[in-house]
Structure 1
Amino acid sequence: MADELTELPHLPMEIIREILAWLPVKPLCRFRCVSKSWNSLTFDPKFVKMHFNKALEHEDVLHQRRRVLVTGVYSGEFYSFSLDEFLDNDDIDNVGCDDENHELSVTEVSRVGDVRGSSVFYSNALMLFESNQRFSLFNPVTRESKVVPVFPKLGRCDIINAKLYGFGFDPSTQDYKMVYMICEDCAAVRRQHPHSPILMELKFGVYSLKTGYWRVIEKGYPYQCLSHGGMGKLLNGGIHWLVYRDYGDLSSMVLLSFVLAEEEVREIPLPPRFHNEGGGVYLSVFRDCLCMILGYGEEVWIMKEYGVRESWTKIRISIPPCEWVHSGFRKKYYDLLLLEDDENKLVLLNFDKNIFRNLSIRGVPEVGYAVVYLESLVSPNNFGITD
């Protein structure tokens, strides 16, 4: 009888795959020790994709696996926490508004290994982070990483005025791509346009995780970017930057999209009544919409229908005047924003009521970056769902 009770039932592999696909990543990694077949299963690209898609298909699984990753300004180290769990356990709707006496505090925080980085970006299942001017792909749960090869030389560079970057997942090829862009003052191009005193040109290189190599795009684009070291905003299959068509002419601002699937450049129309008269203008993403912000938030526009000029809508967000970025976290009517002022801080914005609450993180006095990621088995070294 004892043997009958302890004997495990024999289940078809299809059922085992389905059961395991619902589990969190950390238990699955421990289960690799159960058998060779289970170990192989967790590295199988089809299972990795099946496991990842559970979070996209089921809201409860999404909330279980979704985490916020932040970097400390002073330490540069990575920390993560479950904001979904925090919101479920804390009745923030009955907490006072932006009064410091009612500041929300997250205490259940995990340190994400010994990874240190000056910036971090996320797409689909992997992160790209920069450390000591080198970029690496990283899975914050399995702690696997892969160093991106050194950027190739682009074009006929005389003077490089700026370097910009982008990172995203291309579903058309099931591949992760990093985009490297330089703005060069090219004498060869100027010789073709003798009436223009200065002509800038953008050149692009694309790194593919599948191939492990960079591809230089030979075509140059006649734009000028004034910012340096910025990361483009990923949305709708394209990476976006603000550039200028004419050197030194702020009125010639252009919203540029590098389309990952075609690896081509397209212009996105600006708001019809948007005027840049020398004030700071920067690009963000708000609720899956492109967002243009003038000055320190005095004027905010969102593009409700991607690519449609007439869909630009001016909105009002009641937060302190400063530059801000959306972390990617949204639940019900709450959005998590990082305010980039003298003391970087996180706020939970109730967009419906147009109020916000400060959010502090235990052990992280000042936040450098904040992004949202899904716990997954995707490996930068084993391609995971990129196969």
Structure 2
Amino acid sequence: MEHDVPSLPEEIIVKILLRLPTKSLLKFRCVSKSWLFLISSYDFAKAHLKNSNDDRLMFGSKGFSMDLYTWSPQSAADHSAFGGTIYPPLDQNLLVQRVCIDCPLYEPHDVVWFEGSCNGLICLSSSDESLSLWNPTIGKAKKLPNSGTVLDFDYYGIGYGFGYDELIDDYKMVESLSFEPFAGAPTLDIQLKVYSLRANSWKTLLNWPGGHAFGGSGKFLNGAIYWSVHRLDGPIEWVIVSHDLSTYTFSVVHLPHLHNEDNDDVNVDVKVLRGCLEICCERNTHMDIW
């Protein structure tokens, strides 16, 4: 006598799967065709990402040959054993985990830099001036088309910002180039380009509000990328420029006077921590964090 195998309602199965880690979901795709279709669907991926409560930070090492690490601020707060150091000895550290860079677009000897991450996607740049997006969980990567930027300058600086445009469900990369238009120029020119993953193309922005020297790479928060910049044609006054990825508009946040009585040099960089914008003012002898 045959007995029907009991099964759960589909909505219950979906709720259970949404609570599982990504690596388990990848294995469960082979359970059945219906599970393969469900787990591979775009709507499920978005729901799983929204349901995730993993707040681990990802950062690259400072060495020439880059390593990637993940770090849990909550675990560090609960089990603080390294005095707040973010690069403790790996053989003694249980909080920082090294991520193997097995991106299929690069060889082990290639020089690769970590440019940013968003929703599990990692943006990498390499010594051949190429950019790529990599999902280390599923092992897939995409090389971005060339932006067309020509680095034929005696002096230039180039940086990137990577983020998500929720309005049109699109990932975008911003390339900022500051360069000396001619030898001995009194100031720098700025060129900004934006790559859209959905359109798979670059566009040039012409409405940069000002500022010549960038303090660091752009940081993504709540639909915008934030840059720390200052002008070179007057007193050094740092500002924060926010770039809305949906509207391509900019706004400027002025900072208070940062130089102290000793007139120490100061470099301002922006960071994001737990959903808040963090301003790091690095001086000759110490660092102030807002």
TM-score (norm 2): 0.77
2:258 corresponds to 1:274: yes
Which structure features the higher share of strand residues?
Answer: 1
Which amino acid is 1:135 matched to?
A: L
Q: Is the 8 A contact 2:213 2:232 kept in 1?
A: no
Q: Deviations for 1:323-346, whole angstroms, at most 9, x for unmatched residues?
A: xxxxxxxxxxxxxxxxxxxxxxxx
Q: Is the 8 A contact 2:17 2:25 kept in 1?
A: yes
Unmatched runs of 5 consecutive residues or more in structure 1:
57-61, 188-196, 303-387
Which amino acid is 1:122 matched to?
A: S
SS in structure 2 of the partner of residue 180 of structure 1: strand
Residue 139 of structure 1 is matched in structure 2 by 135
Residue identity (%)? 26
Which of the residues 15, 24, 29 maps onto 2:26?
Answer: 29
Q: Is the 8 A contact 2:237 2:257 kept in 1?
A: no
Counterparts in 2 of 1:52 and 1:211: CA distance versus 1, 3 Å: same
Counterparts in 2 of 1:212 and 1:18: CA distance versus 1, 3 Å: same
RMSD: 3.6
Residue 179 of structure 1 is matched in structure 2 by 174
Q: Is the 8 A contact 1:152 1:216 kept in 2?
A: no
Residue 53 of structure 1 is matched in structure 2 by 50
Which of the residues 205, 227, 241 maps onto 1:241?
Answer: 227
Q: Deviations for 1:260-309, whole angstroms, at most 9, x for unmatched residues?
A: 12212221110x2422735131213264233131315635142xxxxxxx
Counterparts in 2 of 1:30 and 1:217: CA distance versus 1, 3 Å: same
Q: Is the 8 A contact 1:72 1:78 kept in 2?
A: no
Q: Deviations for 1:222-267, whole angstroms, at most 9, x for unmatched residues?
A: 431166xx421223432222222343x3424332222212212221
Which amino acid is 2:259 matched to?
A: H
Which amino acid is 1:205 matched to?
A: K
Unmatched runs of 5 consecutive residues or more in structure 2:
none
Deviation at 1:112, TM superposition (A): 2.5
Residue 243 of structure 2 is matched in structure 1 by 258
Q: Deviations for 1:335-379, whole angstroms, at most 9, x for unmatched residues?
A: xxxxxxxxxxxxxxxxxxxxxxxxxxxxxxxxxxxxxxxxxxxxx
Deviation at 1:104, TM superposition (A): 5.2
Q: Is the 8 A contact 2:165 2:245 kept in 1?
A: yes
CA–CA distance in structure 2, aligned partners of residues 131 and 162 of structure 1? 15
Which amino acid is 1:49 matched to?
A: K
2:17 corresponds to 1:20: yes
Paired positions, count = 272
SS in structure 2 of the partner of residue 16 of structure 1: helix
Which structure features the higher share of helix residues?
Answer: 1
CA–CA distance in structure 2, aligned partners of residues 254 and 108 of structure 1? 33
CA–CA distance in structure 1, aligned partners of residues 52 and 34 of structure 2? 24
TM-score (norm 1): 0.59
Q: Is the 8 A contact 1:80 1:112 kept in 2?
A: no
Deviation at 1:96, TM superposition (A): 8.4
CA–CA distance in structure 2, aligned partners of residues 134 and 104 of structure 1? 35
Q: Is the 8 A contact 2:174 2:193 kept in 1?
A: yes
Deviation at 1:167, TM superposition (A): 0.8
CA–CA distance in structure 2, aligned partners of residues 78 and 290 of structure 1? 22
Superposed counterparts of 1:1-387, under 5 Å: 4=3, 7-56=4-53, 62=54, 66=56, 68=58, 71=61, 73=63, 75-78=65-68, 91-92=79-80, 105-106=93-94, 109=97, 111-115=99-103, 117-132=112-127, 133-153=129-149, 161-186=156-181, 198-219=186-207, 221-225=209-213, 230-247=216-233, 249-270=234-255, 272-275=256-259, 277=263, 279-285=265-271, 287=273, 288-296=276-284, 298-302=286-290
Q: Is the 8 A contact 2:190 2:212 kept in 1?
A: yes
Counterparts in 2 of 1:113 and 1:256: CA distance versus 1, 3 Å: closer
